[in-house]
Structure 1
Amino acid sequence: MRRALVHMARRLRRDAQGVTALEFALAAPLLLMIMAVLIELGMSYYLQTVLVGTINAAGRASSMQSAQTTSSTIDSQVTARIHHVIPWATVAFNRENYTDFTNVGQPEDFTDTNKNGQYDLGECFNDANGNGVWDSDMGATGLGGANDVVVYTVTVSYAPLFGFSSMLGLPSTMHASSSTIMRNQPFATQTTRTVTKIC
């Protein structure tokens, strides 16, 4: 009996049948996770590429005063292009206009009474965009008028394709954003903005 058990143990030790299936069962989950991450990252890169090309074309179309296309129509076209890539994505739009390129992203001027280098409540400021409060970005909301500089930003948010992506270090909501800066066509005289000093 003992001799038979020893013989069976030796035979089992040399038997390689089923090893491939076992190795595949151990390696498959890791390979599938790596593939999922690569697909997510590839989709994110492709979306960013589509987004940049789309908003550059949309920005040019929206800057033409002679164009018959409205902002809402342009936004709908951008959304349609994004939904070709990721149908469940949420697309948000923002337009800020400025009198000049040098004003883009600049804060409204203020009197730094306490000399601390930042705006504090109660300090006087020049309200460049007419909203009655000091802003760290003096841009006015909307498309603006003739010869105004417009920053057109599109932000896309979407849930990852694979639900377990967050376990692999990817965020639970993916984001892509891109902006383009255009000057509206000067088919009219640029409107002079009234800057009000508020204290």
Structure 2
Amino acid sequence: MIYKISKRVTRDEEGATLVEFAIIAPVFFMLLMGIFDFGHITYVKSILNGAVQEASRNSALENAALAGNTDIIDDKVRTSIQNLANSIERDDIEIERASYFSFDDVNRPEAFTDSNGDSDCNNNEVFEDENANGQWDADIGEEGLGGARDVVVYNVAVTYDRLFPLYRLMGMPQSIKLTASTVLQNQPYAQQADQSPVTPGNCI
């Protein structure tokens, strides 16, 4: 009798599917959330890049420098991004512009005499104050739109909370920061202003 019962139990496959699903389900749902999370990040990045490209083109026009037009352009970028997730607030979106005389100047530091060879501008070393602000700058860009024919770097960064709780299981931070930037030259709507005269200064 015991033999027959044990033989019947070992052959009984009812409920096997449920047990197999219980084993596979956690891995499956983690994979699914990972796909959704990655897909949403890719989507946000795509919309962000598109908004930045459009805003930079609009900023290169002559009327962009008129009062209030820059704010209108930036607000369109913020609105496009905020529509992607309810958790994105206005303060979560950082927008920066830096203008340069030419493409060669983008992200370029001011030249200085590195007397002690430590690659830092210090110890009263002489530097060329190209933007005439009285201090050495690692980036000679000036904040804002610049003028006609100036080269402008337009940067936008957005920080928001992930939509899916996968980050808790994977040990990732809840918030994610995405950035997009582009470089365009303003239209030649006027004669480009001359560069500021280069004056020497001393590093602190």
TM-score (norm 1): 0.89
Q: 2:12 aligned with 1:18, yes or no?
A: no
Distance 1:145 1:165 in 2: 45
Query: By how many angstroms is 1:109 displaced?
Result: 1.0
Letter in 1 for 2:125: E
Aligned partners of 1:137, 1:36: CA distance in 2, in Å?
Answer: 41
The equivalent residue for 2:187 is 185
Deviations 1:6-37 (A, max 9, x none): 32222111111111111111111111100111
Residues 23-34 of structure 1 aligned to structure 2 (within 5 Å): 23-34=20-31
Structure 1 CA distance, aligned partners of 2:164 and 2:191? 52
Aligned to 1:198: 201
Q: 1:78 maps to which residue?
A: 77
In the TM superposition, residue 116 of structure 1 has moved relative to its aligned partner by 4.0
SS at match of 2:62: coil
Percent identity over the alignment is 35
Residues 29 and 168 (structure 1 numbering): CA distance in 2 closer, same or farther, change over 3 Å?
Answer: same
Q: Which AA in structure 1 matches 2:80?
A: R
Q: For this pair of structures, how many residues does the alignment match?
A: 196
Q: Determine if contact 1:125/1:197 at 8 Å carries over to the other structure.
A: yes
Which residue of structure 2 lines up, in the alignment, with residue 59 of structure 1? Answer: 56
- Matching residue within 35, 38, 43 for 2:35: 38
Residue in 1 that maps onto 2:98: 96
Q: Is the 8 A contact 1:156 1:175 kept in 2?
A: yes
Give the superposed CA RMSD: 1.9
Alignment of 1:36-185 (within 5 A): 36-67=33-64, 70-89=69-88, 90-168=92-170, 170-185=172-187
- Give the residue type in structure 2 aligned to 1:158: Y
8 Å Cα contact 1:36/1:165 also seen in 2: no
What do the CA deviations read for 1:109-150 (whole angstroms, capped 9, x no partner)? 112222444423421212223433222211111111222110
Give the unaligned 5+ runs of structure 1.
Answer: none
Amino acid at match of 2:42: Y
Q: State the distance in 1 between where 2:156 and 2:102 align.
A: 21
Q: Say if 2:151 and 2:183, in contact at 8 Å, map to a contact too.
A: yes
